[in-house]
Every structure is written in structure tokens, then in C-alpha cells.
Amino acid sequence: MPQTLIDDIELGYTDVGSGPPLVLIHGYPFDRTLWTEQINTLSDTHRVIAPDLRGFGESETANTEASMSGMARDVASLMDHLGVDRAVIGGLSMGGYVAFAFYRQYPERVKALVLADTRPQADTEEGKQTRREQSQKALAEGMAGIADSMLPKLLTPETVSKRPELVKRIRDMMLRTKPAGAAGALLAMATRDDQTPILKGISVPTLILVGRDDAITPLKDSERMHAEIPGSRLAILENAGHVSNLEQTERFNSELLSFLKEIGA
Ligand code: MLT
């Protein structure tokens, strides 16, 4: 699997297919294999680039503090490395926070946005405190406790009971995450900017996807983004929770493909 030196760290990534470029940014505490089904389908028609964010998957963890804007800079540096000036930038959950940061820093490099199971607002004070505690917990105890407490919130109860192989895959992905990477990302999410002030000014085509039963970034956050981002499209995926791309893969892919077709990307 390819890796490249971005600033201070080796970054793992996938770059497959040819056609209009689409960058897919994973959420927390996952890695780029979150996107395997999207990569497999969309690479028939698109050049799909999926990085492992710093601290995740095959990417190294830096000694410096992580931030959403730093992760967005990594994505831009990877695009430079791959000779991609402008792309559709998509992210799920924390990947969406990074996509917002990317749009703020490099609006000219964004052909369109795909915001999946994410939200624009920053954490509440209570939320920030929980992040700090989780960060300590990850470092002290590893990922098992975090994975077990997150799993029921990531998936619908039906997925949990009927799709043990998917539950295992997601749990394994979380267990592979380096505690230091997770801890850094938790602190980075706690200090992320509030993006609600920029919503009305987003001037690129935007697709918002959300599982109807998303318990982490609930439907109302997506409805708010849809109401405020001019001309945005909202796709609500039935029978899906927070990782809607894995729970309702076909619907997710078809919404994404039809959006890309409509905007000529
Ligand atoms: C994610 O899926 O990236 C995280 O759950 C997002 C968050 O905790 O805010």
C-alpha cells in the first residue's frame, strides 16, 4: 500500500481509478478501509483517493498536536503529491470536520463537498471534557473500551443483531487504531472550530448524507446543514446509523454517484 512523506510523517493512502478525482476522508477512530465499498464501486468511473489521517491506519502519529486544520493540510499535501489540484472532497463524521476545514483553507481546490454523518458545530464544554477523558482512557487502557462503548452508537440495533460480520469488521478497525493517534484526534476534535458561520457562504455543490438513526451526528444536524448550505442536496438513508456508508452501501453509493453525475464530476 502506498505511503508518502507529508511534512513530518509517513501517510498511508489509496489512489485507484481514473476520471474526476474524489477524495474520501474517514471518521474516528477508523481508517481508510472504512471506504472499501465506495472505493471499489466509484473507482470504475472516478479517481478515488482515500488517505489514512495522521495517527490512523498506516499513517504515522506525529509528536506535534493534531488539529482538523492540520489534517486538512495533510490532505492538501497528499493531493499535491498526486498532482491533483481540485477534487470533490468527502468526509464521514470526523472526516466531515476535516472536509469543512479543508474548504475553509483551500476553497479553490474544492469542486464539491460530500458531508456524510457529520455536523458543523463545535463540541459543547461537556463534550470537550468527555473528549479529554476519552483521550486519557485511550492512552491508559488502549482501544478496547472505546470500541465497546462506541459500537452500539455507531450502528442500528438491527445491524448489531443481524450483521455480526460487519460489527466485527468495524470493531477490528477500531482496535487497530493506535491509542496515541486516537488520543490526538480526540483532543483535535475538542478544539475544532464551529463551522456553522460558514454554511450560508458555501458556494460549491454539496451532498449531505445521513443515516436516519445516526446517534452520534443526528439527522437534525444534517437538516440544519441542508437548510443553510445553498442548493445542497440531503439524502436520508433508512435503516442506517452513524456509519451509513457501510450499513446501506448500495443506497449510499447510488446517491453519491447520482450527485457526481449531476454536477459533472
Ligand atoms: C466519528 O465518527 O468520526 C466521530 O464519532 C465523530 C465525533 O465523535 O464527533
- pLDDT at position 122 is 98
From the CA of 245, how far away is ligand 1's center (Å)?
14
pLDDT tens per residue across span 23-66? 999 999 999 999 999 999 999 999 999 999 999 999 999 888 89
- pLDDT at position 2 is 79
User: Taking a C-beta distance cutoff of 8 angstroms, is the pair 49, 22 a contact?
Assistant: yes
From the CB of 189, is ligand 1 less than 6 Å away? yes
68-82 burial, b at 16+ Cβ within 10 Å, e below that, comes to bbbbbbbbbbbbeeb
- pLDDT at position 55 is 95
From the CB of 120, is ligand 1 less than 6 Å away? no
pLDDT tens per residue across span 208-224? 999 999 999 999 999 99
Span 199-214, average pLDDT: 98
Span 240-263, average pLDDT: 98
Least confident of 10-24, 58-72, 77-91, 106-120: 58-72
Q: In what order do the strands lie in the sheet with 110-116?
A: 3-6, 9-16, 47-51, 21-25, 87-92, 110-116, 206-211, 233-237
Taking the C-alpha atoms of residue 189 and residue 31, their distance in angstroms, rounded to an integer, is 16
pLDDT tens per residue across span 179-188? 999 999 999 9
From the CA of 19, how far away is ligand 1's center (Å)?
30
From the CA of 189, how far away is ligand 1's center (Å)?
8
Whether the per-residue pLDDT at 18 is higher than 70: the answer is: yes
* Minimum-distance ligand 1 atom for the alpha carbon of 27: 3
- pLDDT at position 1 is 64
- For residue 77, give the DSSP letter: H
Main-chain dihedrals φ then ψ at residue 126, nearest 5 degrees: -65, -40
Whether the per-residue pLDDT at 263 is higher than 70: the answer is: yes
Whether the per-residue pLDDT at 6 is higher than 90: the answer is: no
Residue to substitute in 53, 217, 245, 247 for testing ligand 1 pocket (most ligand atoms within 8 angstroms of CB): 217
Whether the per-residue pLDDT at 92 is higher than 70: the answer is: yes
Nearest to 232 by CA among 262, 252, 265: 262
**HSE-CB for 206 with a 13 A CA cutoff:** 25
- pLDDT at position 103 is 98
- pLDDT at position 256 is 98
From the CB of 188, is ligand 1 less than 6 Å away? no
Span 111-134, average pLDDT: 97
For all residues of the chain together, what is the average pLDDT? 96
- pLDDT at position 4 is 78
* Minimum-distance ligand 1 atom for the alpha carbon of 153: 5
Whether the per-residue pLDDT at 3 is higher than 80: the answer is: no
Residue to substitute in 31, 94, 134 for testing ligand 1 pocket (most ligand atoms within 8 angstroms of CB): 94
> 10 Å Cβ neighbour count for 176?
16
The position carrying cell 459533472 is 264
From the CA of 32, how far away is ligand 1's center (Å)?
15
- Atom 9, ligand 1: residue with shortest CA distance: 94
- pLDDT at position 22 is 98
Taking the C-alpha atoms of residue 248 and residue 101, their distance in angstroms, rounded to an integer, is 27
Global confidence as pTM: 0.97
From the CB of 27, is ligand 1 less than 6 Å away? yes
From the CA of 196, how far away is ligand 1's center (Å)?
17
* Minimum-distance ligand 1 atom for the alpha carbon of 119: 9
